[in-house]
Chain A
């Protein structure tokens, strides 16, 4: 068990560019979550997958955001036409989803800076 990994750890991009982040959950965890965290705030939920199905999307997830989990393993979060307001830490978490479990395991996050 190597934990949840996220790549890249840091991304600097110019406004208007597209960016893609990757999350590798803990092996065999069927639930995967994306959160966004801005400075001084707690993480905010963006979206959630059970296996390859995207089951819930926050209103924060505008049309410029898209997330996929094509084979129920790793996930990608893409932001198109980035804006300065997209600057934040993007966190991924996974959980086993089994009854009796209660932890979401978070990755270290990808820090996005839009200039």
Chain B
């Protein structure tokens, strides 16, 4: 699985959009970008995933660049409950037959 690079930490004001970047320059053609988050003292939670098209669900939007070497997770209206560590993961397949390989993620702090 390709390696990802994320900023260690970010801040965001409540109600504003949180844009979390991820670099995955060695991604291969059949690897997907997944995002999970981990709120303090809880297990990780799936957010969204995509291959090359932008994706949106009730939690977030995922923007993948045309060359697929980077992506951005967007939380459109961040709330205090979005304070968490966000993990960008690249892996084969659109269904989860395999383990997740986590990096150290981005610690997002949403402030009032």
Residues of A within 8 A of B (CB): 4, 31, 33, 35, 40-45, 48, 56, 91, 93, 95, 97-109
Contacts and interface: CB of A to CB of B under 8 A. Distances in A.
Interface residues of B, dominant DSSP: loop
Contacts, number: 61
A40 B45 CA distance: 17
How many B residues are at the interface, by size bracket?
A: 20 to 34
Contact of B105 (A42, A45, A104, A106): A42
Contacts of A43: 44, 100, 102
Contacts of B102: 42-44
A107 B38 CA distance: 11
A109 B96 contact: no
Interface of B: 34, 41-46, 49, 85, 87, 94-97, 99-105
Given A43-B44, A91-B43, A107-B43, A102 B94 contact: yes
A100 B95 contact: yes
B95 A98 contact: yes
Contacts of A98: 95
Contacts of B46: 102-105
Contact of B96 (A4, A40, A101, A106): A101
Nearest to B99: A45
